[in-house]
Structure 1
Amino acid sequence: MLHFFIDPFNAYGFMRRALAACFALSLSTAPLGVFLLLRRMSLVGDALSHAILPGVAIGYLISGMSLMAMGIGGFAAGLLVALLSGWVSSMTQLKEDATFAGFYLGSLALGVTLVSLRGSSVDLLHLLFGSILAVDINAIKFVGLIAGFTFLCLALLYRALVIEAFDVAFLRVNRQGYPRVIHGIFLALVVLNLVAGFQILGTLMSVGLMMLPAVAARCWSGHLPVILLIAAAIGLLSSWVGLMWSFYASLPAGPAIVLSASVIFFLSVLLGPRGGCALMLRRRRVLINEEKE
């Protein structure tokens, strides 16, 4: 039985490289997904994953399938959309989620148009859905550097991120302008990790490893450190199971990983003791018993 879980990674180098890249990405993106969830910005990650496409497309048009060029272009495009959305929401009566929706839809359409100018449908599918089994050493180093940098930033800013997530008014009263800096750095980290994920899972799938483990972890605990650990563990498990699923069932690896995370999310919603259906049924049973008494 043990060979069933190990043989694909023991026998094939491309499976080991894909697993290493997914593990690094899971450890990096899952904590960011938790903080997005706490800030009620779950769909912002999805919006930014679409927003990086024009920059990735411009990098592709200039340098072909150059990881560095597409990464720089994607980061610049995502950061620009994040800054513009924040600026428009501060200057108008529109909420930030509404401005994100407007900008990311335009960015997605622009990115697809740019790729179609010189690329083929295969190139477009590669950018949208990734090619995880074609990950090379350079891509692993790229993802590893971003994961390490993200860990360092989260360690330095952990206290401020927690305070902003739960009591942003405290920061505004005590340190004017400080919340905007923290918010900007946080969004930059989100964009940076989505850029790391596009090479592996594509611009449309990369947000899956960011948000699904975070939402699933929230159903199992109410303590933030525990939620962060559970989210990272779910990301690692989803990567392992998804790659095995794709190997034995001949499925696309990226969607298989996200589907694995979706199954864990569904089970967490059903069985999780914190906010899951099991908790709601237990509370309803207690209320019924109290009414009978």
Structure 2
Amino acid sequence: MYDLLIAPFADFGFMRRALVGGVALSVGAAPMGVFLMLRRMSLTGDAMAHAILPGAAVGFLVAGLSLPAMTIGGLIAGVLVALLSGVVARVTVLKEDAALAAFYLVSLALGVTIVSMRGSNVDLLHVLFGTVLALDDAALILIAGITSLTLGTLALIYRPLVLECLDPGFLRSVSRSGGPVYLAFLALVVLNLVGGFQALGTLLAVGIMMLPAAAARFWTDDITGMLLLATLGGVLATVAGLLGSYHLGAPSGPAIILAAGCLYLLSLVFGPVGGLMRHLRPRRHLEA
């Protein structure tokens, strides 16, 4: 049991770094996934994850695989796409989801083109799928800082954010905080995607955000419970993915997301709140 579960982290520093980075990322990103799900914006998270790619690619073009350059570029690109899609949705006939989809496709193609022109296939794979086993001190500090900022901001805007997700009309009738809260929420989503980009790349970063959140929805109706379960699910997926990667020789980033996907499928089948088994189980007479 020691060799199976503990030895990989006890014997190898890169595994410990990957574990710390993945856990920190789960603590910050999974709650964002819960609120995206409650707002019916799950696919928006995926679009935003791809939107940071051209900014990160420009940072790569300027400074190579430089953490500060790629982080700043990705952050600027993500915020810019969020703002542009909102403007397009308000001044044209396009809805916000269509505007985001258009920007997402352009961003993905542009980012891949930029990286391919400057770097090799290895560099492109690094940008698209991340290198969770190669996290250094700077990357860990960045992810931990984003997580700390996320938790602190959520503590400040939690009540209006929950209202804005569940009943925005009521929030508008009693307060003018809806707009600023929504912008703060989008900024946190972009920040966590930028942090996830360092470990999982632009294609997989949204996985650690949305899959644990979707799994948590099958276990509870309580928002606080969903936040806690989503965070726990992200941590479990990180541990299981890293261990599976170590013992089976699979790529670590995809292994983490596959572990989160398995957790989602188990929740889909066995979850007591809307899971498949609950629908298949015979109900008692007059049972709701």
- Compute the TM-score of the two structures, normalised by the length of structure 1: 0.95
Structure 2 residue 275 is the aligned partner of structure 1 residue 286: no
Work out the CA distance in 2 between the residues paired with 1:174 and 1:58.
Answer: 43
Structure 2 residue 60 is the aligned partner of structure 1 residue 60: yes
SS in 2 for 1:238: helix
Structure 2 residue 266 is the aligned partner of structure 1 residue 267: yes
Equivalent AA in structure 1 for residue 265 of structure 2: F
Corresponding residue for residue 248 of structure 2: 249
Work out the CA distance in 2 between the residues paired with 1:93 and 1:160.
Answer: 29
Corresponding residue for residue 227 of structure 1: 226
Work out the CA distance in 2 between the residues paired with 1:112 and 1:48.
Answer: 15
Work out the CA distance in 2 between the residues paired with 1:247 and 1:232.
Answer: 23
Work out the CA distance in 1 between the residues paired with 2:103 and 2:265.
Answer: 30
CA offset digits 1:31-58 (Å, max 9, x no partner): 0000000000000110000000000000
Corresponding residue for residue 144 of structure 1: 144
Work out the CA distance in 2 between the residues paired with 1:123 and 1:3.
Answer: 33
Corresponding residue for residue 201 of structure 1: 200
In terms of mean alpha carbon deviation, does 205-214 or 111-120 score higher?
A: 111-120
Corresponding residue for residue 70 of structure 2: 70
Work out the CA distance in 2 between the residues paired with 1:142 and 1:25.
Answer: 10
Corresponding residue for residue 155 of structure 1: 155
Once the two structures are TM-superposed, the CA of residue 170 in structure 1 deviates from its matched residue by: 1.4
Once the two structures are TM-superposed, the CA of residue 60 in structure 1 deviates from its matched residue by: 0.5
Work out the CA distance in 2 between the residues paired with 1:71 and 1:213.
Answer: 24
In terms of mean alpha carbon deviation, does 178-187 or 39-48 score higher?
A: 178-187
In terms of mean alpha carbon deviation, does 265-274 or 1-10 score higher?
A: 1-10
Q: Which runs of 5+ in 1 are unaligned?
A: none
Q: Which runs of 5+ in 2 are unaligned?
A: none
SS in 1 for 2:283: helix
Corresponding residue for residue 12 of structure 1: 12
Corresponding residue for residue 181 of structure 1: 180
Once the two structures are TM-superposed, the CA of residue 138 in structure 1 deviates from its matched residue by: 1.2
Work out the CA distance in 2 between the residues paired with 1:115 and 1:107.
Answer: 12
CA offset digits 1:77-124 (Å, max 9, x no partner): 011011111111112232211111111101101111111221111111
Aligned length: 287
Equivalent AA in structure 1 for residue 247 of structure 2: Y
Corresponding residue for residue 29 of structure 1: 29
Structure 2 residue 100 is the aligned partner of structure 1 residue 103: no
Equivalent AA in structure 1 for residue 230 of structure 2: A
CA RMSD of aligned residues (A): 1.3
Q: Percent identity of the aligned residues? A: 54
Work out the CA distance in 1 between the residues paired with 2:152 and 2:162.
Answer: 16
Structure 2 residue 50 is the aligned partner of structure 1 residue 50: yes
- Compute the TM-score of the two structures, normalised by the length of structure 2: 0.97
Equivalent AA in structure 2 for residue 209 of structure 1: I
Work out the CA distance in 2 between the residues paired with 1:233 and 1:11.
Answer: 25
Equivalent AA in structure 1 for residue 64 of structure 2: G
Work out the CA distance in 2 between the residues paired with 1:222 and 1:252.
Answer: 34
Structure 2 residue 126 is the aligned partner of structure 1 residue 123: no
